[in-house]
């Protein structure tokens, strides 16, 4: 029987790692994810988890050790956040290019400067082009579930790409919630043992991995990563279906909430989705035709799902905790690409919110709705807005 325990998001991630039975875990402590390696150390120390835990001297070595272990053919896990993820940056491309299905939990945290340990998504968003699958959890249960899902998708032979699962710093990493821990047997059945056919450092059948690719081959290798990411769309949906059958919880590329007759839809990722759902309920009571949507999968980008969502609304307001300086938020720019050639499309607005752990309040959401309403009524509004700025200290 699945067990329900009240736990922090970090513990949920560690539990997911335990259930997935990786053979190697390599990690370096970083706020807010420190508890993940701590908890895994405990599991290993108590003999509850049969993994080699490498206490590396940096995140760069954490991911490098994971690449080594994965290249040697075993299931591999790590966790980090923010500067730690940034320090891994170089190797993230290599892990994807070498097609190693490493899974990484990330307590989404802001990047320096100024140094800030609190939540936004700039860390993972900055790694969006590395070739890693990206999932964002709304709550601690999702953090656990999505890590299991990430392993399954990453290891699928049609995909073979590494995956990162983000859950918001402190809002989830340090907040306790009831989490259902699935039975080990069911997880074993769901994931199976990882047996690589392309990456193994076996003296009985020596292969060379991580070659030099001349111009004659490099582009094709990169195309294969593109193709794998494209394949992942279908694989993720299949895995979501299977996950629902095995564990009873349903996931969607984009989860919709009261969108059916909406004129304004607020689209976001991560824990902010929970806030938006409540806010939508409140606005519906006031008679505002508003809905919410949550992007669970950011890479591959849910193109068809976003098109379908866009058809339902007149204003698509994207709320995101990241910024690409000089253009706008990442989700906004991606969504713009998806909708650019659609004949009918909603007005697309970008709201940059909650950077570095600033609370996203109902007051701020009212502001989002006010701007969206103006756009709806035909008034010209800016496309990118910073919401919740303390103008008095600028």
Partner 1 sequence: MAVRKPPITTREYWAPGHAACAGCGPAIVMKLATKAFSEAMEEKYGDPNAFAIAHATGCMEVVSAVFPYTAWKAPWVHVAFENAAAVASGIEAAWKKLGRKGKILAIGGDGGTADIGLQALSGMLERRHNVVYLMYDNEAYMNTGIQRSSSTPYGAWTTTSPPGKYSIGEDKPKKWVALIAAAHQVPYVATASIGDPYDFYRKMKKAASVDGPAFVQVLAPCVPGWRIPPEKTIEVAKLAIETGLWPLFEIENGDFHNIKFQRFPKDGKFKRPIEDYLKLQGRFKHLFKRPEAIQELKNQIKELWRILGKEVELP
Q: Which of 176/207 has CB closer to partner 1?
A: 207
46 is a site residue for partner 1 (CB under 8 A): no
Task: List the beta bridge partners of residue 225.
Answer: none
Strands 24-27 and 52-55, by their bridges, are: parallel
Q: Which residues of 355-391 are buried (b: 16+ CB within 10 A; e: fewer)?
A: bbbbebeeebbebbbebbbebbeeeebeeebebbeee
Please give the Cα distance from 138 to 243 (Å, whole number).
17
Shortest Cβ 64–partner 1 spacing (Å): 4
Please give the Cα distance from 341 to 16 (Å, whole number).
40
Site for partner 1 in 89-108 (CB under 8 A): 90-91, 94, 98
Q: Which of 69/81 has CB closer to partner 1?
A: 69
Show the site string, 191-220: x = touches partner 1 by CB under 8 A, - = not.
---------xxxxx-xxxxxxxxx--x---
Please give the Cα distance from 328 to 184 (Å, whole number).
43
Show the site string, 300-339: x = touches partner 1 by CB under 8 A, - = not.
----------------------------------------
Q: Which of 138/155 has CB closer to partner 1?
A: 155
Residue 259 three-state SS? coil
Shortest Cβ 19–partner 1 spacing (Å): 17
19 is a site residue for partner 1 (CB under 8 A): no
Enumerate residues 6+ apart whose C-beta is below 8 A from 202.
73
Q: Which of 55/282 has CB closer to partner 1?
A: 55
Shortest Cβ 200–partner 1 spacing (Å): 8
Shortest Cβ 185–partner 1 spacing (Å): 21
Please give the Cα distance from 257 to 277 (Å, whole number).
7
Please give the Cα distance from 211 to 382 (Å, whole number).
48
Shortest Cβ 62–partner 1 spacing (Å): 8
Minimal CA–CA distance to 80: which of 134, 6, 29, 16?
Answer: 29
Site size toward partner 1, by CB under 8 A: 45
Q: Which of 91/235 has CB closer to partner 1?
A: 91
24 is a site residue for partner 1 (CB under 8 A): yes
Considering only the stretches 50-58, 167-175, 301-309, 340-348, report the one whose residues sit in contact with partner 1 under the rule CB under 8 A: 50-58
Show the site string, 53-92: x = touches partner 1 by CB under 8 A, - = not.
-xxxxx-xxx-xxxxxxxxxxx-x-------------xx-
Task: Identify each DSSP E strand in 50-127 by its residue range.
Answer: 52-55, 76-80, 103-108
Q: Which of 3/207 has CB closer to partner 1?
A: 207
Place of tokens 């900055």: 126
Considering only the stretches 33-41, 52-60, 228-236, 245-253, report the one whose residues sit in contact with partner 1 under the rule CB under 8 A: 52-60
- Options 51, 150, 229, 280; binder of partner 1; rule CB under 8 A: 51
| 254-257, strands of its sheet edge to edge | 254-257, 290-295, 264-268, 315-320, 347-352, 384-386
Q: How many CA atoms lie within 13 A of 143 on its CB side?
A: 35
What is the contact surface with partner 1 in residues (CB under 8 A)? 23-24, 26, 50-52, 54-58, 60-62, 64-74, 76, 90-91, 94, 98, 200-204, 206-214, 217
């Amino acid at each position: 029987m699945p067990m329900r325990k009240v736990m922090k998001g970090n513990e949920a991630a560690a539990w997911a790692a335990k259930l997935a039975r990786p053979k190697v875990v390599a990690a370096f402590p970083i706020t807010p994810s420190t508890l993940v390696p701590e908890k895994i150390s405990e599991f290993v120390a108590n003999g509850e988890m049969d993994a080699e835990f490498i206490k590396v001297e940096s995140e760069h070595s954490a991911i490098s050790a994971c690449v080594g272990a994965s290249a040697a053919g075993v299931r591999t896990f790590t966790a980090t956040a923010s500067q730690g993820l940034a320090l891994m940056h170089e190797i993230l491309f290599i892990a994807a290019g070498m097609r190693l299905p490493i899974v990484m939990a990330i307590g989404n945290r802001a990047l320096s400067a100024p140094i800030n340990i609190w939540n936004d998504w700039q860390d993972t968003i900055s790694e969006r082009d590395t070739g890693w699958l990206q999932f964002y959890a709304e709550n601690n249960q999702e953090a656990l579930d999505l890590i299991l899902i990430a392993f399954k998708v990453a290891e699928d032979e049609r995909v073979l790409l590494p995956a990162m699962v983000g859950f918001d710093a402190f809002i989830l990493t340090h907040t306790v919630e009831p989490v259902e821990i699935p039975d080990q047997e069911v997880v074993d059945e769901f994931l199976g043992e990882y047996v690589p056919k392309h990456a193994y450092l076996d003296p009985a059948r020596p292969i060379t991995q991580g070659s030099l690719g001349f111009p004659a081959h490099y582009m094709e290798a990169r195309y294969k990563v593109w193709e794998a990411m494209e394949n992942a769309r279908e694989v993720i949906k299949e895995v979501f279906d299977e996950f629902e059958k095995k564990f009873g919880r349903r996931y969607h590329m984009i989860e919709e909430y009261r969108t059916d007759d909406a004129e304004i839809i607020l689209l976001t990722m991560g824990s902010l989705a929970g806030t938006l759902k409540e806010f939508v309920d409140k606005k519906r009571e006031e008679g505002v035709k508003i809905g919410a949507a949550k992007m669970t999968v950011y890479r591959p980008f849910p193109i068809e799902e976003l098109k379908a969502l866009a058809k339902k609304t007149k204003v698509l307001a994207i709320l995101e905790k990241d910024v690409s300086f000089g253009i706008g938020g990442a989700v906004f720019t991606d969504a713009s690409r998806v909708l650019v050639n659609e004949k009918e499309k909603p007005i697309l607005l970008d709201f940059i919110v909650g950077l570095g752990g600033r609370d996203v309040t109902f007051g701020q959401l009212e502001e989002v709705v006010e701007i969206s309403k103006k756009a709806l009524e035909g008034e010209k509004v800016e496309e990118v807005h910073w919401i919740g700025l303390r103008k008095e200290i600028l």
